[in-house]
């Protein structure tokens, strides 16, 4: 099956944030209310109950004047997901339509994926002691429905469909924008990290929207996942030189001894 | 896309298994527990219209009902794809319509009635600092009495015009009514008719402000 | 809106001014973005602040709050000077050619007839010269110095680009770009739309701001055509319907003046004479005689010639059998207001503050947050003996008597403070059902009336407002039952039969009465042209007549229609819901075709809505009579008016002239036939366009509450964000929206922040002569100081959507705003006042 994805066109987004709420409605997520700190973007980042946010960027150019740009931020559903490589329990899987889904039943809350993701997407949900993130609404898309975010987008900034078709649309749109006042317009997600199952049309270079220009997976992770994980998944955190080591290790070992760990045998239904 | 969930998972599982060996070197299984059952499957939505900005976007309400058809709880509220004004779109306000009735508790994640909704008529006696629950009959009867007391004691039936003739004016200036722009037309109509027949002239809605 | 939301896709250029469409009417941007993609349309945003709308516009131009007439006056001059107006349209469809009385004049900011003492105009000189046939004299060459066109040209001579920019603070290059871009829609094959909201209306010159739009759009030939129009983006889901139902002191349902205690309204026939244009001096003494005159038609009347039918049918709907030919159809039951008094929102609260009002109904509104000078309005509530509040939540008004309600960020001796023990108001709170917990119709901003079905049960014991009013009405009637007092007749005889066989409220019964029925058989009246003034029809609101129909043995309530066909491709969706009047989707649509009624505007065939078909049969019972208006939209025109009648080229059927008014004659406006620039009541500068700072016809309610620019040098304004709605009563109680905009904030420029030592995220205090508000500072590049007459002036903006209830809380911005309003409508001047700001 073809990859099904979202195309997000920043030039059509009004930052109404319908997508942010529709995501909560569909995924049954509580609000996470934080005080206003002087920015419309009240969530600095996604969190365990907030799978997507609109980021706001205010800039000024001596010639073109003030500019306020918005970008939707959520899981990129990478073709080669770092979270999946890093997960010691095989909680992450790819669907055939290209969504990276996380299985809370397998998750042990070790949070290693949160350190691996180049977009810092997986978030820890304390309430359940699990990771959570955008699912690209696979429960909807398997039934032929559009993801909640794309479905609610009032202006058509966010659309959903076959990735190849959307990629063509994105290329055309970027070309149009380059010829009509946005000389730096480009697309994002085509090639980054070997391809993302999220596509963007940008009116300027990716850095202007807080996107990593050249995202990459930490080398150790990509190396380890080929060698270590299939055999000694639980060792991964031991090899990680990050502050989270002991926490993660404890989690993993506790889980192992607790006997909750499932072996990655797959093949449900 | 016309693929059932079962077919889809089957295909996914098979391909993922193959890929696990040949491509990425790890297991790729979209497990049943990772993909939830579509919770609005076979649920008929009810169309309504957004109560906010007056653009008139359509919304659909998905609700869970028991076998007798009695309403149980909300499932989701989102844009009405048939409505030509919004074609399924909904901004943050429209998309948050579910919360108007129900919310997910931030502590437990459970679906509960919005705790800010008032569920019983409330009465505050003069000079007190608390609300007291009352029943509808008492409330409506008491309000009707207050209306009568105030109206009858302040009612102006006739006035003398500059030309010396009397004219019937049938008004009270002691009772006022505000609001109505959030009501339905039929409700506004009843309010307008009732208040004017009582003689109100201080009758205003949000259109003025 | 003269047009509607989907129609925005048909425009060539949108001027969004006094509206933050992307944030407050997000779906409108869908259609504008589509217009840009499909037709290459341009989007212009003119606003004091760069917003999410500006971010999606092709052109953004700032202006100082309260200077819209200067901005638009300059546009009118630019259109005339450069001959960019749509000439055929202007000559044929507007009053440009009309000759104006010699007594009319204008000098240094004052129109003829000014009464300084009472701050009002005698409008008798604002009128046309009439010929012997009783019709206005015209000069179609537009050369006569007394014709409207020449007077207008002279009036706006002073509005040159430099003078305008000094007043508005708009950079000249940006202003020129706006003029160039929007005025290009004067070409016959182009249309441009103007979208506005409260940024235009909430000023002491609010009505004249809108008038300026009308003048621009008439000059450019943009009215009555797809992609054009003067489009008010209304703020509440059914504010249109609430206005239609006349929940306003000055009208009764259907936009008919409400009766007053004067000789002109003393009985039914006097009242009908007074509300029927052109009828003042006609020889009739009863309805029969009037009926004969109406049949013949009389000059300067327009469609309102039928007013008697609307009034009598309304009385029949309300008072049933008690309304008959023998008693003036119970006309005297209607309350007559005191002609010397104004009962509008601010005056209502002034009266309450003086202790003149005992009881108050608060129907899903929240004046403690939303009312101007809210400190005073809250204090006024303490004078009430009783208050009934109907809402989903205990909003700030329902809870105004609590300790919390009187907390203020700064001790201010001028701000009243009470404790619950000191407040003697008895408060009744009735919990209401939410929108999808009940059913009914709402009229959206484009006049589409849509039905909402019930999708969930009301929570707890909450009830629909329909149930509440129906029950209350029954109880009121019960306690008055049997009364023989004359003054109780309106209640005793009021029809109130809305229960179904199970004793429950039946919305269809209400709808039938509202839309109108034949008294003899109870069947719906099929349209307002069929309403009668002989008591044979009853109709609660003639504007909604035709929304209910009886077909094939079934009653159809048209707002329930959900057919998605759009045969014209113009987005009219004739069978989706129902639009008033008579399902016309674009009003004044006669203008979409040339004066001959047949030819589309050159190059604009696709946007022609109606046409005269000389071969069509209008009435099947008279097949010999040929000629009828037809089209993709319902003609907003009398269907059989052919080229032989003078009205053939008079598209504005609600106007006595039948023509669009560049010059607002007679009683249309209280403050002048042409819009003229005046400063807001509180302004950092003197008026340089004339020597009157404040609109001369505006009433000053609280002269001692005017802040001066020495002490309060900064312009303050208020507005909303996408994530909250109005006073926030609904949205601040929703966790998902509370998290998006959790607290009260104020936006200010980096320059002002530097001057005041304020950093982003700081708590700050904003003060006016009326009160103080604490807010979180949002320091932004999107506000810039403006250069006004050579001086730097700062403007800041506050959200007026916060209060002390809900999940998202903050101080109430309206503690700062003044009790002064527009000369015509008394809408408060929320949008421009003086303040200062400091770190908390």
Q: What is the pLDDT of residues C365-376, one digit of tens each?
A: 999 999 999 999
The pLDDT value given to residue B35: 82
Closest Cα partner for C681 from C238, C65, C248, C236?
A: C65
Is A33 among the domain residues?
A: yes
The pLDDT value given to residue A251: 58
**Do A30 and A153 belong together in one domain?**
yes
How far from C415 is each of C60, C397, C770, CA to CA, in Å? 39, 17, 8
The token duo for C164 is: 């305008």
Spatial distance between the Cα atoms of C741 and B65, rounded to a whole number of angstroms: 34
Q: How much is the CA Rg of chain A, to the nearest whole Å?
A: 19
The token duo for C632 is: 């993709």
Residues of C in contact with B51 (CB under 8 A): 237, 434-435, 442, 730
The pLDDT value given to residue B13: 39
Burial A164-200 (b: 16+ CB within 10 A, else e): eebbebbeebbeebeeeebeebbbbbeebbebbbbbb
pLDDT in tens, C408-432: 999 999 999 999 999 999 999 999 9
CB contact set of B44 (below 8 Å; sequence gap of 6+):
none
**Do A228 and A151 belong together in one domain?**
no
The pLDDT value given to residue B36: 86
Burial C695-707 (b: 16+ CB within 10 A, else e): bbbbbebbeebbb
Model confidence at B11: pLDDT above 80? no
**Do A19 and A127 belong together in one domain?**
yes
**Do A82 and A178 belong together in one domain?**
yes
pLDDT in tens, C124-163: 999 999 999 999 999 999 999 999 999 999 999 999 999 9
Model confidence at A256: pLDDT above 50? no
Number of domains in chain A: 2
pLDDT in tens, C333-378: 999 999 999 999 999 999 999 999 999 999 999 999 999 999 999 9
Residues of C in contact with A69 (CB under 8 A): 55
Does A213 contact C at CB distance below 8 Å? Answer: no
pLDDT in tens, B156-205: 999 999 899 999 999 999 999 999 999 999 999 999 999 999 999 999 99
Residue C94 forms beta bridges with which residues?
C660
pLDDT band at B18 (very low <50, low <70, confident <90, very high): very low
Is A268 among the domain residues?
A: no
Least confident span in A243-257, C52-66, C577-591: A243-257
**Do A193 and A70 belong together in one domain?**
yes
**Do A227 and A201 belong together in one domain?**
no
Is A11 among the domain residues?
A: yes
The pLDDT value given to residue A244: 46
Bond from prior residue into A29 cis (ω within 30 degrees of 0): no
Is A262 among the domain residues?
A: no
Predicted ipTM > 0.90:
yes
Spatial distance between the Cα atoms of C757 and C539, rounded to a whole number of angstroms: 63
The CA distance from B24 to the nearest CA of chain C, in Å, is 39
Nearest CA in chain A to B57: A154
pLDDT band at B85 (very low <50, low <70, confident <90, very high): very high
Residue in A12, A24, A67 closest to C33 by CB: A12
Spatial distance between the Cα atoms of A48 and A127, rounded to a whole number of angstroms: 9
Model confidence at A94: pLDDT above 80? yes
What's the distance, Cα to Cα, between the start and end of chain A in Å? 19
Does C53 contact A at CB distance below 8 Å? Answer: yes
Q: Mean pLDDT over residues C67-91, rounded?
A: 98
Model confidence at B8: pLDDT above 60? no
Model confidence at B68: pLDDT above 50? yes
Residues 18-37 of A with CB under 8 A from C: 18, 20-21, 24-25, 30-37
Q: Mean pLDDT over residues C608-615, rounded?
A: 97
**Do A25 and A93 belong together in one domain?**
yes
Model confidence at A190: pLDDT above 90? yes
The CA distance from C449 to the nearest CA of chain A, in Å, is 21
Q: Mean pLDDT over residues C455-459, rounded?
A: 98
**Do A95 and A187 belong together in one domain?**
yes
Does C38 contact A at CB distance below 8 Å? Answer: no
**Do A149 and A235 belong together in one domain?**
no
The pLDDT value given to residue C403: 98
Tell me the CATH number at A171: 3.30.70.20
Containing structural domain, residue A237: 222-256
**Do A236 and A142 belong together in one domain?**
no
Spatial distance between the Cα atoms of C476 and B141, rounded to a whole number of angstroms: 8
Is A266 among the domain residues?
A: no
Nearest CA in chain B to A87: B26
Strands A130-132 and A158-162 come out as unpaired
pLDDT band at A262 (very low <50, low <70, confident <90, very high): very low
Express the helix, strand and coil content of chain B in percent, nearest 5 each.
Answer: 30, 25, 45
Q: Do C740 and A21 touch (CB under 8 A)?
A: yes
HSE of C812, CA atoms in CB hemisphere, 13 A: 33
Q: What angle do CA C714, C720, C722 make, to 5 degrees?
A: 140
How far from A191 is each of A216, C210, C733, CA to CA, in Å? 12, 52, 44
Burial C340-364 (b: 16+ CB within 10 A, else e): eebbbbbbbbbbbbeebbbbbbbbb
How far from A168 is each of B79, C39, C294, CA to CA, in Å? 28, 22, 65
Is A267 among the domain residues?
A: no
pLDDT band at A237 (very low <50, low <70, confident <90, very high): low
Q: Mean pLDDT over residues C546-557, rounded?
A: 95
**Do A164 and A128 belong together in one domain?**
yes
Spatial distance between the Cα atoms of C137 and C98, rounded to a whole number of angstroms: 6
Nearest CA in chain C to B155: C487
pLDDT in tens, A77-93: 999 999 999 999 999 99
Does B18 contact A at CB distance below 8 Å? Answer: no
Nearest CA in chain B to A148: B78
Q: Which of C739, C796, C797 to mutate to test the interface with A (most CBs of A within 10 A)?
A: C739
Does B12 contact C at CB distance below 8 Å? Answer: no
CB contact set of C263 (below 8 Å; sequence gap of 6+):
B161, B162, B163, B165, B167, C270
Spatial distance between the Cα atoms of C437 and C452, rounded to a whole number of angstroms: 10
Model confidence at C324: pLDDT above 60? yes
The token duo for C625 is: 């009579």
Residues of A in contact with B83 (CB under 8 A): none
Helices (H), A73-162: 82-86, 112-116, 138-141, 148-152
Model confidence at A139: pLDDT above 50? yes
Is A265 among the domain residues?
A: no
Is A263 among the domain residues?
A: no
CB B174 within 8 A of CB B151: yes
Closest Cα partner for B148 from C355, C492, C353?
A: C492
Does B140 contact C at CB distance below 8 Å? Answer: yes
Q: CB atoms < 10 A from the CB of C172, how many?
A: 12
pTM of the predicted protein model: 0.94
The CA distance from B102 to the nearest CA of chain C, in Å, is 9
Residues of B in contact with C428 (CB under 8 A): 121-123, 139, 142-143
Does A208 contact C at CB distance below 8 Å? Answer: no
**Do A82 and A146 belong together in one domain?**
yes
Closest Cα partner for B177 from C342, C491, C388?
A: C388
């Amino acid at each position: 099956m073809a990859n099904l994805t979202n195309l997000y066109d920043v030039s059509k987004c009004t930052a109404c944030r319908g997508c942010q709420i529709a995501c909560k409605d569909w995924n049954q997520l509580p609000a996470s209310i934080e005080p206003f700190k002087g920015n419309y973007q009240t969530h600095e980042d996604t969190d365990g109950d907030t799978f997507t946010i609109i980021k706001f960027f205010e800039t000024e150019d001596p010639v073109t004047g003030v500019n306020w740009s918005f970008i939707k931020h959520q899981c990129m559903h990478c073709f080669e997901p770092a979270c999946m490589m890093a997960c010691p329990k095989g909680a992450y899987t790819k669907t055939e339509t290209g969504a990276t889904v996380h299985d809370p039943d397998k998750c042990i809350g070790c949070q290693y994926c949160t350190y691996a993701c180049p977009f810092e997407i997986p978030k820890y949900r304390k309430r359940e002691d699990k990771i959570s993130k955008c699912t690209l609404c696979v429960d909807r898309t398997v039934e032929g429905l559009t993801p909640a975010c794309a479905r609610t987008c009032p202006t058509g900034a966010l659309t959903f469909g076959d990735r190849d078709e959307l990629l063509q649309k994105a290329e055309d749109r970027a070309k149009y924008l380059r010829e009509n006042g946005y000389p730096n317009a480009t697309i994002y997600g085509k090639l980054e990290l070997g391809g993302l199952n999220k596509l963007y049309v940008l009116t300027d270079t990716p850095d202007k929207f807080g996107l990593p220009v050249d995202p990459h997976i930490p080398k150790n992770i990509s190396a380890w996942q080929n060698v270590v994980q299939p055999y000694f998944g639980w060792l991964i955190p031991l090899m990680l030189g990050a502050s989270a080591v002991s926490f993660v290790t404890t989690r993993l070992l506790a889980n192992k001894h607790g006997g909750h760990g499932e072996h990655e045998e797959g093949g449900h239904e | 896309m016309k693929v059932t969930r079962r077919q889809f998972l089957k295909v996914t599982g098979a391909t993922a298994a193959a890929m696990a060996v040949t491509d990425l070197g790890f297991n790729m299984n979209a497990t049943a527990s990772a993909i939830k059952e579509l919770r609005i499957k076979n649920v008929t939505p009810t169309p309504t219209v957004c109560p906010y900005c007056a653009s008139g976007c359509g919304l659909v309400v998905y609700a869970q009902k028991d076998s007798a058809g009695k309403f149980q709880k909300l499932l989701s509220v989102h844009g009405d794809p048939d409505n030509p004004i919004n074609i399924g779109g909904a901004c943050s306000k429209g998309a948050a319509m579910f919360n108007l009735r129900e919310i997910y508790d931030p502590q437990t994640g459970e679906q509960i009635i919005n705790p800010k909704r008032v569920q019983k008529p409330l009465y505050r006696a003069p000079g007190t600092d608390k609300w007291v629950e009352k029943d509808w009959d008492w409330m409506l009867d008491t309000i009707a009495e207050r209306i009568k007391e105030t109206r009858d004691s302040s009612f102006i039936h006739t006035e003398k015009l500059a030309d010396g003739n009397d004219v019937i004016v049938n008004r009270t200036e002691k009772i006022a009514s505000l609001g109505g722009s959030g009501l339905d037309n039929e409700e506004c109509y009843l309010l307008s008719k009732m208040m004017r027949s009582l003689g109100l002239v201080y009758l205003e809605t949000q259109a003025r402000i | 809106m003269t047009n509607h939301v989907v129609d925005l896709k048909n425009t060539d250029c949108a001027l969004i001014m006094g509206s933050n469409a992307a944030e407050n009417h997000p779906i409108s941007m869908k259609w504008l973005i589509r217009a840009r993609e499909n037709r290459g349309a341009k989007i212009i945003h003119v606003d004091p602040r760069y917003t999410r709308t500006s971010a999606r516009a092709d052109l953004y131009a700032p202006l100082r709050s309260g200077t819209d007439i200067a901005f638009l006056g300059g546009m009118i001059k630019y259109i005339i000077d450069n001959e960019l107006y749509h000439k055929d349209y202007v000559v044929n469809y507007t009053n440009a050619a009309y000759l104006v009385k010699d007594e009319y004049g204008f000098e240094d900011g004052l129109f003829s007839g000014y009464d300084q003492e009472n701050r009002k105009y005698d409008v008798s000189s604002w009128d046309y010269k009439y010929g012997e046939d009783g019709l206005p004299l015209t000069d179609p060459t537009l050369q006569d110095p007394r014709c409207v066109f020449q007077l207008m040209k002279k009036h706006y001579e002073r509005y040159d680009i430099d003078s305008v920019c000094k007043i508005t603070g708009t950079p000249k290059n940006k202003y020129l770009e706006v003029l160039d871009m929007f005025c290009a829609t004067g070409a016959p094959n182009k249309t441009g739309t103007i979208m506005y909201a409260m940024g235009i209306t909430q000023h002491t010159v609010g009505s004249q701001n809108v008038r300026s739009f009308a003048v621009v759009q008439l000059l450019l030939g943009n009215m009555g055509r797809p992609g054009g129009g003067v489009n008010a983006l209304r703020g509440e889901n059914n504010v249109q319907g609430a206005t239609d139902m006349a929940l306003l002191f000055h009208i009764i349902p259907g936009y008919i003046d409400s009766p007053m205690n004067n000789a002109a309204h003393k009985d039914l026939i006097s009242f009908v004479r007074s509300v029927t244009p052109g009828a003042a001096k006609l020889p009739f003494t009863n309805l029969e005689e009037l009926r004969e005159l109406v049949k013949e038609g009389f000059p300067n009347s327009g469609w309102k010639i039928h007013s008697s039918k609307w009034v009598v049918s309304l009385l029949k709907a309300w008072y049933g059998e008690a309304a008959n030919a023998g008693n003036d159809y119970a006309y005297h039951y209607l309350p007559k207001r005191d002609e010397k008094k104004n009962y509008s929102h601010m005056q209502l609260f002034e009266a309450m503050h003086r202790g003149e009002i005992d009881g108050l109904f608060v129907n899903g509104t929240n004046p403690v947050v939303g009312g101007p000078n809210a400190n005073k309005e809250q204090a006024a509530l303490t004078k009430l003996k009783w208050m009934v509040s109907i809402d989903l939540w205990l909003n700030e008004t329902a809870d105004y008597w609590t300790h919390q309600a009187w907390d203020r960020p700064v001790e201010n001796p001028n701000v009243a403070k009470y404790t619950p023990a000191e407040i003697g108001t008895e408060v009744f709170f009735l919990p209401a059902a939410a929108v999808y917990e009940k059913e009914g119709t709402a009229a959206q901003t484009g006049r589409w009336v849509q039905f909402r079905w019930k999708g969930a049960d009301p929570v707890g014991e909450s009830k629909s407002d329909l149930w509440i009013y129906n029950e209350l009405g029954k109880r009121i009637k019960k306690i008055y039952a049997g009364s023989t007092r004359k003054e109780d007749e309106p209640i005793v005889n009021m029809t109130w039969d809305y229960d179904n066989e199970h004793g429950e409220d039946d919305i269809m019964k209400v709808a039938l009465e509202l839309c109108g029925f034949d008294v003899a058989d109870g069947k719906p009246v099929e349209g307002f042209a069929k309403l009668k003034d002989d008591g044979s029809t009853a109709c609660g609101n003639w504007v909604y007549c035709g929304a209910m129909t009886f077909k094939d043995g079934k009653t159809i309530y048209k707002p329930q229609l959900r057919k998605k066909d759009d045969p014209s491709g113009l987005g009219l969706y004739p069978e989706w819901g129902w639009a008033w009047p008579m399902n016309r989707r674009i009003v004044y649509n006669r203008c979409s075709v040339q004066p001959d009624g047949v030819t589309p505007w050159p190059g604009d065939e696709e946007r022609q809505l109606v046409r005269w078909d000389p071969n069509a049969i209008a009435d099947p019972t008279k097949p010999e009579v040929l000629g009828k208006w037809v089209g993709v939209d319902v003609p907003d025109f009398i269907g059989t008016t052919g080229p032989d009648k003078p009205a053939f080229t008079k598209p504005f059927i609600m106007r006595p002239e039948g023509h669009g008014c560049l010059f607002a004659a007679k009683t249309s406006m209280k403050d002048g036939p042409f819009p003229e620039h005046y400063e807001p009541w509180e302004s950092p500068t003197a008026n340089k366009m004339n020597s009157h700072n404040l609109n001369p016809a505006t009433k000053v309610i609280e002269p001692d509450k005017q802040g001066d620019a020495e002490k309060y040098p900064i312009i303050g304004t208020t507005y909303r964000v996408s994530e909250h709605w109005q006073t926030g009563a609904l949205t601040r109680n929703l966790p998902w929206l509370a998290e998006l905009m959790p607290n009260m904030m104020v936006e200010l420029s980096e320059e002002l922040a530097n001057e005041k030592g304020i950093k982003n995220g700081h708590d700050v205090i904003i003060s006016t002569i009326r009160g103080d508000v604490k807010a979180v500072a949002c320091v932004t590049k999107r506000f810039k100081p403006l250069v006004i007459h050579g001086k730097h002036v700062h403007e800041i903006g506050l959200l007026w959507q916060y209060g002390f209830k809900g999940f998202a809380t903050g101080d109430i911005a309206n503690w700062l705003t003044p009790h002064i309003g527009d000369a015509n409508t008394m809408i408060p001047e929320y949008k421009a006042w003086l303040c200062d700001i400091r770190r908390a």
